[in-house]
Amino acid sequence: MTTTKTCSEIGDFLSEYATWLWGCGATCIRLEKNVRRMAQTLGVEIDMGIMPTHIYATVWRHDRSDCYTVVRAMHKSAISFDVNTQLSKLSWDLADGRCDFEQARRMFEHIKQTPSANPWLVLLLASVANASFCRLFGGDAVAMLLVFVSTLCGFRVKQMMLADKVDVRIVFACSSFFSAVISAGGHLFSWGSTPEIALASSVLYLIPGIPYINSVSDMLDGHYICAYSRLMDGIVLTACLSLGLCCGLVVMSMKII
Amino acid sequence: MNILLQDGFFAAMAAVGFASISNPPRRAYPCCAILAAVGHALRYLLMNNHVVAVHIILASGIAAFAIGILAVRLALVAKCPAETCFFPALLPMIPGMYAYRTVEAFVLCLCHSDESTFIHYLYHFAYNGFTCSIIILGMVVGANIPIFLMKRMSFMATKMD
């Protein structure tokens, strides 16, 4: 089976697989392990250079009878641990002989079609989550309700703007602004006993946790360029949400501290 | 005990909600909830006890390390990558009040030109900013270390038996 496949076919498949795995939020160590696992099973050697926007891969046979080099842009998509899980499972299925190369390619095409979760359900769950977050910081019931409403509005703004393909940095600033302005109402009208906590936790659903976590993972694995890139992504998004919060505070003329 | 249970319950709620944003497989949700509850309750216990009250930075690091170890084990049960389980569990430990006070102090720095008032808010900005950054760094390093220590187990979670 493996001997009939050329290095170009295998290289194209593995490089596209790698770009999708990166796009759904996998770390560099997972990406390398999954791709090498499949390459070994397919009877080829592979060396990869992982860059934040591109992947460079060279695939060759042990006897050097065939060789293929490919450069491919990273796939841009929303973070999806479901796709990450399915792609990781695919690499094991191929390595353990549960599927052959053609079946793996078909399964990969199927995984690419994985639908995202129901946006309304995510909206509700994220709002409940942020209200719980407020409770963890010591917020009272009024503060929780305020955070629930401000998250509901801010997160909906985020979903709508992302659907309209607006730049993610602008999306973060606008969502944070909306949430901050709504939750600042608690401060202005003295609702409840912990309005400051409501204001503080109203924008936390926007914290870009995955870039930070993946950045440290890449750093521990020695992929410093990718680690730096992900760290900068996280910092830029955090700065944008802080900007939205600042503007919200200024617009509502908050008398803070 | 009641406070500890409440703390764990709300942390689990927060983790499940935040997990949904990153589209995990359904079977990962219970793991996220368990990890968040255990991690947050552990941090609370470390910070609020009569024997030795640990500082929030160290407590967050220890709790994140515990989350990381548990995540590697639970990932084998849920058949999904360990980071799928531990990422939402870490979110309830984000030092939100420190982050907010950093931004607040930054705005106030810009609003005051008087030297002593400016220095006062600059102190608030630096203190809260440093504390917040170190807590987050400690958390993400603490949670990632177990994955690298138990590499073999970590990357076999999606292998079907």
Q: Which residues pair with A70 in a beta bridge?
A: A57
Work out the pLDDT band at A191, boundaries 50, 70, 90: confident
The side-by-side arrangement of strands in the sheet containing A67-73 is: A45-50, A54-60, A67-73
The answer to whether the Cβ–Cβ distance between B20 and A122 falls below 8 Å is: yes
Evaluate if residue A121 carries a pLDDT over 90. yes
Q: Which residue of A has its CA nearest to B26?
A: A82
Evaluate if residue A124 carries a pLDDT over 70. yes
pLDDT, residue A254, reads 63
Evaluate if residue A91 carries a pLDDT over 90. yes
Provide the domain limits for residue B24. 2-94+138-154
pLDDT, residue B92, reads 86
- Quick one: A115 exposed, middle or buried, by C-beta within 10 A (0-12, 13-18, 19+)? exposed
Q: Considering chain A, what is the average pLDDT of its residues?
A: 91
The answer to whether the Cβ–Cβ distance between A207 and B145 falls below 8 Å is: no
Evaluate if residue A190 carries a pLDDT over 90. no
Q: Is residue B125 part of a domain?
A: no
- Chain A partners within 8 Å of B156 (Cβ): 92
Total number of domains constituting chain B = 1
Q: What are phi and psi of A57, to 5 degrees?
A: -135, 140
- Chain A partners within 8 Å of B40 (Cβ): 136
pLDDT, residue A257, reads 44
Per-residue pLDDT tens over the stretch A128-165:
999 998 998 888 899 999 999 999 999 999 999 999 99
The answer to whether the Cβ–Cβ distance between A81 and B17 falls below 8 Å is: no
pLDDT, residue A255, reads 56
The answer to whether the Cβ–Cβ distance between B140 and A26 falls below 8 Å is: no
Cβ distance B64 to B93 under 8 Å? yes
pLDDT, residue A2, reads 45
Per-residue pLDDT tens over the stretch A11-36:
999 999 999 999 999 999 999 999 99
pLDDT, residue B130, reads 94
Who among A79, A82, A214 is closest to B25 (CB)? A82
pLDDT, residue B3, reads 83
CA distance, residue A137 to nearest chain B CA (Å)? 8
- DSSP codes joined into one string, B68-96: HHHHHHHHHHHTS-HHHHHHHHHGGGS-H
Q: How far apart are CA B30 and CA A128, in angstroms?
A: 16
Q: How far apart are CA B19 and CA B28, in angstroms?
A: 9
Per-residue pLDDT tens over the stretch A241-252:
989 988 988 888
pLDDT, residue B153, reads 84
Cβ distance A128 to A145 under 8 Å? no
* Domain residue extents for chain A: 2-112, 119-251
Who among B11, B107, B147 is closest to A249 (CB)? B107
pLDDT, residue A250, reads 85
The answer to whether the Cβ–Cβ distance between B106 and A92 falls below 8 Å is: no
- Chain A partners within 8 Å of B43 (Cβ): none
pLDDT, residue A215, reads 92
Rg of chain A over Cα atoms, rounded to whole angstroms, equals 23
A24-38, A113-127, A166-180, B100-114: least confidently modelled range: B100-114
Ranges of residues in chain B with a pLDDT under 70 are 161
pLDDT, residue B156, reads 82
Q: Is residue B31 part of a domain?
A: yes
Who among B22, B40, B144 is closest to A210 (CB)? B22
Evaluate if residue A1 carries a pLDDT over 50. no
